[in-house]
Amino acid sequence: MKFGVVVFPGSNCEADCYYVVDKVLREDVDYVWHRETDVSSYDCLILPGGFSYGDYLRCGAIARFSPVMEAVADFASRGGLVIGICNGFQILLEAGLLPGAMLRNTCLRFICRFVHLRVENADTPWTNRASLGQVLRIPIAHNEGNYVVDPETYRRLEEEGRIILRYCDPEGEVTQEANPNGAMGNIAGICNEGFNVFGLMPHPERASEEILGSTDGLVIWESVMAYNREKG
């Protein structure tokens, strides 16, 4: 399976993603520069975290107009697998590949810590190796993760099972207290209608080895690899 890690000026998690794919998953991986216009040779594109274009104006607002984003949109429209992590998620929102937007965390602080996430749908390319209701321990690191969307779209996301991860407590209860940033419905990760585009605020690449304190992020990588294998 071939991964591409899209690098924008200001990305800073691209090396972590590359490392996990290369050294932990032992799959093919390339960096894809933001000026690239052809991404057709990849099976899965990773939009990593960071501060693309300094996060000026709004997180992801300028990155979405990078030449590569047109190629990413085209790739996604053909069913290509795209995962946006943290700033990558924000870029997918700005680009309209996922619905909604990000506000500042209600606490007005940058939060960098482990959180618990409940798997809300285990029948997706990204979670097929997890079980429904499974609790994952994965870190977040962001200032704008307060997800918001209009009520109508929220209802659709729920009905269509496109809310993939919710912030929860260690027991898997989705509570106000377990919501680190004020996100609507404790949303930590969502998919598009085709489930081939996934955006999430937590960093699975930072929870993919024992030495980092958690390997719960691996389930996402293993799921997408299994999906790709089965798809043939």
Partner 1 sequence: MEKKELISEGKSKRIYATDQPGQIILEFKDEASAFDGKKKGIIPGKGRVNARMSDIVFRQLEKRGIRTHHLRLVSESETLAWRLDMIPIEVAVRNYAAGSLAERLGYPERTELKSPLVEFYYKNDRLGDPLLTREHIRELGLAKDEQLDEMASTALRVNEILRPFFEARGLILADFKLEFGMREGKMLLGDEFSPDVCRLWDAETLEIMDKDRFRRDLGGVEEAYAEVLRRIMEEETGMTVYVYVTPKKGVLDPAGQAALGALKSLGFDEVGDVRIGKYIVLKVQGVEAERATERVREMCERLLANPVIEDFRVEIQE
Active-site residue, selected from the candidate residues 17, 86, 168, 191? 86
Instruction: Number of residues interacting with partner 1: please give it, by CB under 8 A.
Output: 21
Q: In what order do the strands lie in the sheet with 81-85?
A: 28-33, 2-7, 44-47, 81-85, 197-200, 187-191, 163-168, 111-119, 135-142
| Shortest Å distance, C-beta 145 to partner 1 | 11
Contacts of 7 (CB under 8 A, 6+ apart): 14, 31, 32, 33, 34, 48
**Binding of partner 1 by 104 (CB under 8 A):** yes
Q: Is 148 in the site for partner 1 (CB under 8 A)?
A: yes
Candidates 5, 7, 45, 62; binder of partner 1 (CB under 8 A) is 62
First to last CA, the chain: 10
Q: Would you call 86 a catalytic residue per the annotation? A: yes
Under rule CB under 8 A, residue 183 binds partner 1:
no
Q: Which of 52, 146, 196, 223 binds partner 1 (CB under 8 A)?
A: 146
Single out the residue of 49, 80, 100, 145 in contact with partner 1 (rule: CB under 8 A). 100
Examine the residue annotation and report whether 203 is marked as an active-site residue of this protein: yes
CB 8 within 8 A of CB 66: yes
Considering the complex, what minimum distance in angstroms separates the CB of residue 143 from partner 1? Answer: 10
Quick one: which segment of 33-41, 55-63, 77-85, 205-213 binds partner 1 (CB under 8 A)? Answer: 55-63
Residue 15 or 141: the one with the smaller Cβ distance to partner 1 is 141
226 contacts 1 by C-beta, under 8 angstroms: no
By the rule CB under 8 A, 176 interacts with partner 1: no
Q: Is 156 left (phi over 0), alpha (psi -120 to 50) or beta?
A: alpha
Between 2 and 58, name the residue whose CB sits nearer to partner 1: 58
DSSP assignments along 9-74, one per residue: TTB-SHHHHHHIIIIIS--EEEEEETT----TT-SEEEE--B-GGGG-SSTTTTGGGSHHHHHHHH
Two structure tokens written together for 62: 């300028």
**Considering the rule CB under 8 A, would residue 1 count as an interface residue with partner 1?**
no
Q: How far is the CB of 31 from partner 1 (least distance, A)?
A: 26
Residues with active-site annotation:
86, 203, 205
Binding site for partner 1 (CB under 8 A): 57-58, 61-62, 65, 93-94, 99-101, 103-108, 146, 148-150, 182
